[in-house]
Structures are given as structure tokens and as C-alpha cells.
Amino acid sequence: MAPSHTKQTQLFPSNFAFLNKLKNHNDRDWFNANKEEFQDKQQMVTAFADALLQELNTHDVIETPSGAKSVYRIYRDTRFSKDKTPYKTYWSGSFKRATKYRRGGYYFHIEPGNSFIGGGFWGPNADDLKLIREDISFDSAPMRKILNSESFISSFEKLKGEQLKTTPKGFDANSEAIDLLRYKQFLLIRKFSDEAVLSSGFLKEASQTFKDMRPFLDYMSEVLTTDINGLSI
């Protein structure tokens, strides 16, 4: 039996069971007939997100005010999609770091067979991307040190994200950092088995995974908020 939602610090098989049923009955009639079950399971996820937010705030400063504000809607935006199924078959949410000097974000994704904790920079704008590339081009050693660290590799294996197939405009194709310069996204992703997600230790593991992102996020924050003299921009 799950504990009261207000004190819930873990997820349960019923959370996955509902998503599996939704995957097999992804239509409005079924969803409306099972709205009460959805609301119950959504409340459990929100309570978990609240607990995760509290954990995050022990080692970072988060702007997101509550677990409820972090959890995304389950309704899909189908306006520009060929897939017209109305509902997502997963729960997800994000936490925003506080102030313009703490860059990067945190993300969680709960889905049977495809759960993960993520973070980094999903869609950096053109100016930010230029700053990042210029810093890497000048000296890639600081980023490589982070990416090659034991803690980074054990948690995330490698940097992920969409990459250019060609050389970014204005940069040298023969640069020793060309492999890093091609990134358009900078994502840190750690996958979890269903068993791990439903364990009592998942909350702490998720929080530690976010904490393991900090060297990367702090490095990127410095690149994006200071000039070559270390002064705020």
C-alpha cells in the first residue's frame, strides 16, 4: 500500500500500470471514464516531484516553486503532429535553476521501459551557442576534464544531444575540438530500469544524478555569464 500522497517519496507499480493501460486505450472516452484513477496517480507523481524538489534544494537553488509546477500536462499538443493520440504515455517534469547565473535545467521522465533523469541545455539560443563554441574552441580542456571524469562517465556515459554533420559556421574544420563544436544540444541523460524507478531508493538516486550534473552545469554557467576576465555579462 502506498503511503499518504503528501509524504510520498517513491513511485509504485500502480503508476506504471496506469500508463500501460493508457498506452493500450489512448482515446478520450477511455481517459474520461478513468479520470479518477488518472488524478490519483498524477497526485502520486506530484508528491514525488515535491520530494525531489526538496532534495534538489539541498544542493542547488531552484526557482520552480513546487512539485505541481514542475510536472508537465499529460495532454499532447497534436496540432502539428501526424500522431493524433491525445495523451502522453509517460509522466515528466522539469526544475529551473534560480537566477540568470545558474544556467541549465533538470528533467525527469517516468515511463515503463524508458525512464531517465536528464539535464543540461535542450535548446540554447544562437548567442549562447556561439559563446559555448568560442570557449570550447579556445580551450576544450576544461570541458573534456569534466566529460572524462569517472563520476560523469559512471552516471551519463557521454555527452548526448543533436549535432551538426558539418562544421559550424565561423569555426575551423580541423580544430582538435571539432567533435565538441558540432553539438547543438548539450544533454546529460541517465536511464533507469523499471525496478530502480519503483525502488525506495530512487528519490535519492535521482537527486544524486542531478548533483552529478553540477560540474558541467557550473562550467557552462560560467561560460555563459562571464567575460574573459571573469566579470559578469
Q: Which residue has the higher pLDDT, 231 or 29?
A: 29
Q: What pLDDT does residue 197 have?
A: 98
State residue 123 phi and psi, 5-degree precision: -140, 65
State residue 35 phi and psi, 5-degree precision: -60, -35
Average pLDDT, the chain: 94
The answer to whether the Cα torsion of 195, 200, 202, 205 is positive or negative is negative
Q: Which residue has the higher pLDDT, 228 or 71?
A: 71
Chain position carrying cell 559555448:
132
Q: What pLDDT does residue 9 have?
A: 85
Q: What pLDDT does residue 80 have?
A: 87
Domain boundaries, the chain: 13-224
Grid cell digits, residue 6: 503528501
Grid cell digits, residue 76: 499532447
Could you tell me what percent of the chain has a pLDDT over 70?
A: 95
Q: What is the mean pLDDT of residues 214-218?
A: 97
Q: What pLDDT does residue 8 have?
A: 72
What CA–CA distance (Å, rounded) separates 164 from 179?
10
DSSP, res 170: T
Quick one: pLDDT band at residue 231, thresholds 50, 70, 90? Answer: low
170: left (phi over 0), alpha (psi -120 to 50) or beta: left
DSSP, res 148: T
Q: What pLDDT does residue 31 have?
A: 97
Q: What pLDDT does residue 50 have?
A: 97
In this predicted model, what pLDDT tens digit does every residue of 179-189 receive, in sequence order?
Answer: 999 999 999 99
Q: What pLDDT does residue 7 have?
A: 62
Q: In this model, does residue 3 exceed pLDDT 70? A: no
Q: In this model, does residue 229 exceed pLDDT 80? A: no
Q: In this model, does residue 2 exceed pLDDT 80? A: no
Q: What pLDDT does residue 230 have?
A: 66
CA 17 to chain centre: 23
Q: What pLDDT does residue 106 have?
A: 98
Q: What pLDDT does residue 129 have?
A: 96
CA atoms within 13 A on the CB side of 79: 1
- Is residue 132 classed as helix, strand or coil in its secondary structure? helix
Q: What pLDDT does residue 12 have?
A: 95
Q: In this model, does residue 171 exceed pLDDT 80? A: yes
In this predicted model, what pLDDT tens digit does every residue of 6-25 receive, in sequence order?
Answer: 467 899 999 999 999 999 99
CATH code of domain 13-224? 3.30.930
Nearest residue to 16 (alpha-carbon basis) of 94, 110, 88 = 110
Q: Which residue has the higher pLDDT, 107 or 227?
A: 107
